[in-house]
């Protein structure tokens, strides 16, 4: 528990606290498990202090000096840490959900097990964040959110399994699936599942975002291959133009037989060899032909692309040419 004397001094206000820190530099403040929710602690000198498991949710810690402080297991949800200094602080298992870190310096902090959902702002420094446990080989990264992800990878086998599964089994399905076309989407999805593949569906019809290209790029980068229904397209041409040139991922376009490909599609097909021929279908034969005409060609193209990446660079020796 917090030292009652130290807590009483803090409750007198930041000026009184900072003066006490100045007068007693040898004292390590003990504020463990202190309840400091919503307090205005802006500019407070907490350097080297022990705030382990303290409750600091919605507290104002802007411009505070927290260098080398211990915030082990502290609860800081929605706290304001703008322009605060947390260099070499101990932030292991702290809850930083929805915290404002605009201009804060977290360089060198220990962040094993930290929760950083919904961070607000851009920190001034976040280099050499330590994501490994104490007494383990030191592993550092230079981004707080990346630190959380690396921690999950290192300490959760299920996360690693999920990532491996996505890369080996995920199939991104793009299209404009109006109510009357849901039967097509359902048939494709069920057939993919029966083949132990994982459909990821992006329905242009339902999206309310003006710009969802970035979302599609992320999903495409995770996928084994892409099936794009280019029947009656509205958004698909723009999104395929953004994705296809940047991602060498097999793309199988499918098209209802009474339709024609959009005008820009020929350009994609001619320029990028990972775009496969258009597969024409009817509602009655999409499932019957899915494996032979969509999935198997896509898997074959995937193997081809993998093989291309392993081909060594060819070096042509011209050193013996006479001048």
Looking up residue 35, the CATH number of its domain turns out to be: 2.160.20.80
CA 27 to chain centre: 41
- Give the total number of structural domains in the chain: 2
In a domain? residue 320: no
- Among residues of the chain, what percentage have pLDDT more than 70? 91
| Res 262: pLDDT | 75
Using CA atoms, how far residue 108 sits from 14, 39, 67, in Å, is 26, 27, 10
Determine the Cα–Cα distance for residues 117 and 21; give it in Å rounded to an integer: 33
Determine the Cα–Cα distance for residues 204 and 177; give it in Å rounded to an integer: 7
In this structure, the number of other CB atoms found within 10 A of the CB of residue 321 comes to: 6
Q: What angle do CA 13, 29, 70 make, to 5 degrees?
A: 110
The pLDDT tens digits of the residues spanning 99-157 come to 999 999 999 999 998 898 899 999 999 999 998 887 777 888 888 878 877 777 776 66
| Res 198: pLDDT | 86
In a domain? residue 323: no
Determine the Cα–Cα distance for residues 106 and 91; give it in Å rounded to an integer: 10
Same domain, 228 and 302: yes
| Res 236: pLDDT | 62
Determine the Cα–Cα distance for residues 105 and 123; give it in Å rounded to an integer: 6
Using CA atoms, how far residue 316 sits from 307, 320, 321, in Å, is 21, 11, 12
Residue carrying structure tokens 């507290």:
59
* Average pLDDT score over the chain: 87
| Helix 144-155 and helix 157-169, axial crossing angle in degrees, nearest 10 | 100
What is the pTM (predicted TM-score) of this model? 0.57
Q: Where does a domain end: 137, 155, 173?
A: 155
| Cα atoms found within 13 Å of the Cα of residue 108, Cβ hemisphere only | 10
| Res 60: pLDDT | 98
| Res 237: pLDDT | 67
In a domain? residue 31: yes
Same domain, 149 and 168: no
DSSP code for 280: E
| Segments forming the whole domain that contains residue 112 | 1-155
| Res 234: pLDDT | 58
CB 59 within 8 A of CB 38: yes
Same domain, 103 and 28: yes
- pLDDT tier at 206 (50, 70, 90 boundaries)? low
**216-236: average pLDDT:** 80
State the pairing for strand pair 279-281/251-256. parallel
User: What are the φ/ψ torsions at residue 29 (nearest 5 degrees)?
Assistant: -60, 135
Q: What is the CATH number of the domain that holds 300?
A: 3.40.50.450
Best CA proximity match to 187, nearest among 223, 239, 229, 248 = 229
- Among residues of the chain, what percentage have pLDDT more than 90? 46
Reported residue count of the chain is 323
In a domain? residue 321: no
In this structure, the number of other CB atoms found within 10 A of the CB of residue 15 comes to: 10
Identify any residues that bridge with 228 across adjacent strands, giving them in sequence order. 174, 253
Same domain, 2 and 114: yes
């Amino acid at each position: 528990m917090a030292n009652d004397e130290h807590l009483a001094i803090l409750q007198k206000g930041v000026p009184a606290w900072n003066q006490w820190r100045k007068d007693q530099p040898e004292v390590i403040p003990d504020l463990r498990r202190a309840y400091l929710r919503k307090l205005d602690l802006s500019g407070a000198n907490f350097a080297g202090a022990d705030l382990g498991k303290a409750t600091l949710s919605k507290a104002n810690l802007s411009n505070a000096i927290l260098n080398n402080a211990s915030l082990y297991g502290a609860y800081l949800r929605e706290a304001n840490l703008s322009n605060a200094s947390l260099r070499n602080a101990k932030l292991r298992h702290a809850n930083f959900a929805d915290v404002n870190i605009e201009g804060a310096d977290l360089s060198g902090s220990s962040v094993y097990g930290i929760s950083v959902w919904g961070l607000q702002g851009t920190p001034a420094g976040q280099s050499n964040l330590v994501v490994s446990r104490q007494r383990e080989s030191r592993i550092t990264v230079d981004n707080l959110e990346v630190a959380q992800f690396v921690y999950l990878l290192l300490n959760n086998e299920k996360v690693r399994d999920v990532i491996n599964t996505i890369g080996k089994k995920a199939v991104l399905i793009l299209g404009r699936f109006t109510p009357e076309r849901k039967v097509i989407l359902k048939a494709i999805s069920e057939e993919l599942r029966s083949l132990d593949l994982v459909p990821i569906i992006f329905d242009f019809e339902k999206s309310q975002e003006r710009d969802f290209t970035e979302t599609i790029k992320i999903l495409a980068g995770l996928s084994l291959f892409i099936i794009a229904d280019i029947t009656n397209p509205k958004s698909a041409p723009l999104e395929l133009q953004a994705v296809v040139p940047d991602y060498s991922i097999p793309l199988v376009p499918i098209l209802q037989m009474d339709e024609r490909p959009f005008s820009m599609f020929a350009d994609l097909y001619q320029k990028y060899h990972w775009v496969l021929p258009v597969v024409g279908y009817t509602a009655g034969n999409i499932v019957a032909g899915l494996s032979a005409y969509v999935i198997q060609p896509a898997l074959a193209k995937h193997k081809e692309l993998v093989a291309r990446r392993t081909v060594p660079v060819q070096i042509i020796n011209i050193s013996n040419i006479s001048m």
